[in-house]
């Protein structure tokens, strides 16, 4: 089981991912954007963070940069459906900023769960 901060501005996607992760026995807290995520990180220390890239108020790329400065060991998974660039462009950028894994939307649920398990295992080594 992992403690996860899920940052996603689309309420439908956030709820769907929260339910899926909870059913897989993970403890999940949702955040609506990067600003909300930073506020939640003052009161919680999740094992990992899953963040969308294109969001209002604070983008996922800005969030990843800030989180890596304050919490350098935080495991991060980035997700994106694209925007002005194709999703791969945003995901490549997120990985260069410190995301460990990235996925295009719609996210393959089995691959996401496997990535979470692998990141948790690497945390325990």
Strand partners, 102: 78
* Domains in the chain, CATH or no CATH each: 3-120 (3.40.50.2300)
Q: How far apart are CA 91 and CA 29, in angstroms?
A: 22
Bridge partners (DSSP) of residue 9 are none
Query: pLDDT digit string (tens) for 7-60?
Result: 999 999 999 999 999 999 999 999 999 999 999 999 999 999 999 999 998 999
Rounded to two decimals, the pTM is 0.93
* 79 and 50 Cβ atoms separated by less than 8 Å: yes
pLDDT of residue 88: 79
Token digits for 33?
């954007």
- Residues 72 and 17: their CA atoms lie apart, in Å, by 25
Residue of 71, 23, 14 whose CA lies nearest to 48: 71
Closest of 3, 1, 17, 15 to residue 74, by C-alpha = 3
pLDDT at 83: 63
In this structure, what are the phi and psi dihedrals at residue 104, rounded to the nearest 5 degrees? -80, 145
State how far the Cα of 31 lies from the Cα of 36, in Å rounded to an integer: 5
- Reference 50, options 113, 4, 1; nearest CA is 4
């Amino acid at each position: 089981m992992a403690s996860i901060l899920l940052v996603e501005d689309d309420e439908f996607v956030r709820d769907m991912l929260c339910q899926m992760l909870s059913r897989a026995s993970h403890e999940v807290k949702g955040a609506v954007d990067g600003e909300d995520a930073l506020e939640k990180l003052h009161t919680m220390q999740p094992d990992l963070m899953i963040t969308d890239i294109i969001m209002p108020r604070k983008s996922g790329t800005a969030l990843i940069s800030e989180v890596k400065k304050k919490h350098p060991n935080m495991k991060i998974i980035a997700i994106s459906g694209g925007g002005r660039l194709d999703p791969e462009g945003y995901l490549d950028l997120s990985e260069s900023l410190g995301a460990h894994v990235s996925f295009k939307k719609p996210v393959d649920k089995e691959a996401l769960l496997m990535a979470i398990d692998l990141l948790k295992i690497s945390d325990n080594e």
